[in-house]
Chain A
Amino acid sequence: MPEAATAVKTVELKILRYRPASDERPAFGSFKVPYTEDMSVLEALQTIKDTLDGTLSFRWSCRMAVCGSCGMMINGKPQLACNTLLRNLPPGPVTIEPLNNFPIERDLVVSVGDFVKKIESIYPYIIPKEPKTVAEGPYLQTPAQLAAYESFSDCINCMLCYAACPQFGENPNFIGPGAMALLQRYNGDSRDGGQQKRLDTIHGEDGVWSCTAVGYCSEVCPKQVDPANAVNQNKTNSAFDFFLRFLRPGGAR
């Protein structure tokens, strides 16, 4: 069936545009596209790009909420464009802006390099408790041990939680919810022995203590990672750890 024949309705998208070569500051542009029941915000953006304005830029790839590319502010809330269906949004124009709290490079594309550095900074790999060769086979890990960190390992690095975090908005050096979830993912893994090393990275004022427990990060997370819980667990760990250091002879550094 030709698409035009089935499209009885249209939907308006108000998109914050910014092209560094020509625009002094970001400004909204408005587009109308044919609406279908099963259309995602991403598909609406693709329709704009393919048929109305090829200069609109945004990141996307998987279309199935797993690659983490397409985070943006949709009606003021950080969401993935690919799994946000138009039919689930309130009637009226849809407002689309780049993710909050990140520098805009162009249109809906924000800078991601700093976020990647944060991930890299927390030793995001197994530091084996008891090293083993491949010939010795896999480690045992019971379903309960897996469950201890599994939800934290589901993070797709979409950065929605950073866009939701008021603390990160004020202090871009704050390690932030996503990286903290990753830290907890490894610290909670029965195969890992690197807990101390990782905790050392988050003591300072840009670490775990920056968090004021707003909890909005967990609310916007599309994968139920619950980064707020990771932050909280680490506040406990971090406090306990500081306490122990002062008790240990010559422990305070």
Chain B
Amino acid sequence: MLARSSMRSTRILNGLKNGAATASKRAASSSSSAAGEASATRMNLAAAASTSLALGSIAWYYHLYGPVAFASTPAEEGLHSTKYPWVHSQLFKTYDHQALRRGFQVYQEVCASCHSLSRVPYRTLVGTILTVNEAKALAEENEFPGEPNDEGEIEMRPGKLADYMPAPYKNEEAARFANNGALPPDLSLIIKARHGGCDYIFSLLTGYPEEPPAGVVVAPGMNFNPYFPGTGIAMARVLYDGLLEYEDETPASTSQMAKDVVEFLNWAAEPEMDDRKRMGMKVLVVSASLWAVSVWVKRYKWAWVKSRKIAYDPPKEVKVRR
């Protein structure tokens, strides 16, 4: 029913179209016969006018939007960080957990006095960076508010694995007050939060030149860092050669510490990465196996087709006289 009615409607449409076509044909033939050459110049005029309108609009558009406005100087943009060949960014590589351990040490000994890491609970450190006992001992170093007691007072209790790392300052105001008005950002997701990720933070930490290039005026209380947009950053250089001693006796050069802490911060922002890569590997393994199975099954199912032989056995020529 539906099909028939739609067929009817297309027929009607076709009829309309034919009607329109014949009508326009009639109009064209009648006008050409009536106006003659004058209409030819009119047509040329119309073509020229429409073309110049089109070109004009393109030109106007280009005039308005074409040239790119460089509204900021390179200094305001900041120096784009160089790409470094991070091991963990390779497809089949995990984090270097020895480096994570060193990086956590750097965070604790250097950065933790200013920067919080408030999205990382102690339990996530277990098995990736610390052993259970180390993580428990670390958690117990700090006190956290516990359950209300019989009188409804909240007492402090030693930390547990489930607690989150404490922040160095009570609140934003306290943090700003201690840092000349600048707020040290939380570092839990900083790698994801900055354009350039690991490369940027590494460059930022190691990129303080001994003195700013000639002619640069650095605002009071600020430090010159080419990678920070605007080049004036409130955080002074914090990493110096031999600032701390690694437990695995890696030489603690500035770039080594920066590399380790950046890898640690990448872990903090993306702790699921190792698992994700493992899952990807599983997907590859399973689909490769399934593919192999399907190839064998296909061979099995097609065996009789492939091995059959079609032979044409022509009828013997028999001389039969009719």
Task: Say if A and B assemble together.
Answer: no
- B interface residues (Cβ-Cβ under 8 A, vs A): none
- A interface residues (Cβ-Cβ under 8 A, vs B): none
